[in-house]
Amino acid sequence: MQHLKEDIQKKEFHNTYLLYGEEEYLVHFYRDKLKETILDGADEMNYSYFQGGSIDLLEVKEIAQTLPFFQEHRLIVMEDSKLCKNANDFADVIESVPNSTIFVFVEKEVNKRTKLYKYIQKNGIAVELNAMSDQETSIDKAQIDICCGGSQKPLSAPPGLTMVSVSETARKAMHERKTPIASFYANLLTFETYYEDMHFPHTQPISDIYGLRAALEDVERDTNRFWRHKVIAKAVRQTLSEAGVKLYLEDGYASTVTAFYVPDGLTDKQIMDEMLEKHHIIISGSLGDLKGKLMRIGHMGNNANVTDVKNTLSALTQVLQAHDIPVKEDMGEAFVRCIEEME
């Protein structure tokens, strides 16, 4: 993801991009961002879009071999082509076209064993966009070689720890490197046998580890965890929408957080300050380009419960009404009704 953002920011592009995953909003967001940046505000003379599994690849090849008109790049977007899922030789086509041609593949599913996927991994940028923190995901089934997770957020343990899962494929690649890993602290092999050898290379944050253990025991006991997150998130979105509060997303929601636009006549700081000072509840603003425009309500981990979310929405109702923002009823009470109807 970081490399993709850097390419967009610096306007220095690879010849091939692959965007895939279940987070459809983010997939389309970065597809459109690449298009906007690569074409650099020009018309679409040097832009081609193909969709579906029956794309005429000869036509694509012919277009790809054509130099751009009065521009630096020619852009070809291929959506749901299944070229990264099924066996084919399209990687050879990419290698044969001018460097001025850029391909962006937008796919729902990929097979990481295909020639094209491996080509993109080596020569381009492949980004999987999933909101994984709130849903059940098989790391092996998803073919994720290295997966990192934080101890906070939905786990509700103290922040400060990172869990790392390493596949056998990734472990083998580390051992078979031709050059040594140029780091001690960032070398995962340093930790490979720490448990068997009873030797940890750093001072252990014992209290954080105990906290993580307790949090994981809670997770194990919570058999309805994923269902609870999804129901509460859906009820929050429905409550805000029916109250006239505009949500940021139209689809592709996560079950851990809901973002909404700051109502006209208020600032995000006013809302956050009054929520904290008058109701002792913390909600967040946004970051980057959306700073000052959005508010976020987190409903994840131990906070994903009816009582806490009800109190948060009731407090938000009072803050908005105090500034003459029209909210027809207590959103906390409306939220509880939504939950009861869903159950």
- State whether 207 and 178 are in the same domain: yes
- State whether 139 and 208 are in the same domain: yes
Residue 124 has a pLDDT of: 95
CATH number at residue 193: 3.40.640.10
Q: What is the pLDDT of residues 167-200, one digit of tens each?
A: 998 999 999 999 988 888 888 998 888 888 888 8
Which domain range does residue 49 map to? 2-130
Q: Which two tokens stand for residue 252?
A: 């592709």
CATH number at residue 241: 3.90.1150.10
- State whether 267 and 307 are in the same domain: yes
Residue 133 has a pLDDT of: 47
- State whether 69 and 138 are in the same domain: no
What is the Cα Rg of the chain in Å? 24
Tell me the CA distances in angstroms from 56 to 81, 85, 94, 96, one per residue in order: 10, 17, 15, 17
- What value does the mean pLDDT take over residues 44-66? 93
CA distance 203 to 150: 19
Work out the pLDDT band at 106, boundaries 50, 70, 90. Answer: very high
Exposure string for 158-190, b = 16+ CB within 10 A, e = fewer: beebeeeebeeeeeeeeeeeeeeeeeeeeeeee
Q: Domain tally for the chain?
A: 3
Q: What is the pLDDT of residues 210-230, one digit of tens each?
A: 999 999 998 888 877 888 898
- State whether 123 and 182 are in the same domain: no
Examine the fold and report which residue of 199, 221, 243 is the final residue of a domain before the chain moves on. Answer: 221
Examine the fold and report which residue of 130, 152, 187 is the final residue of a domain before the chain moves on. Answer: 130
- What value does the mean pLDDT take over residues 260-266? 94
Examine the fold and report which residue of 78, 104, 130 is the final residue of a domain before the chain moves on. Answer: 130
Q: What percent of the chain has pLDDT over 70?
A: 96
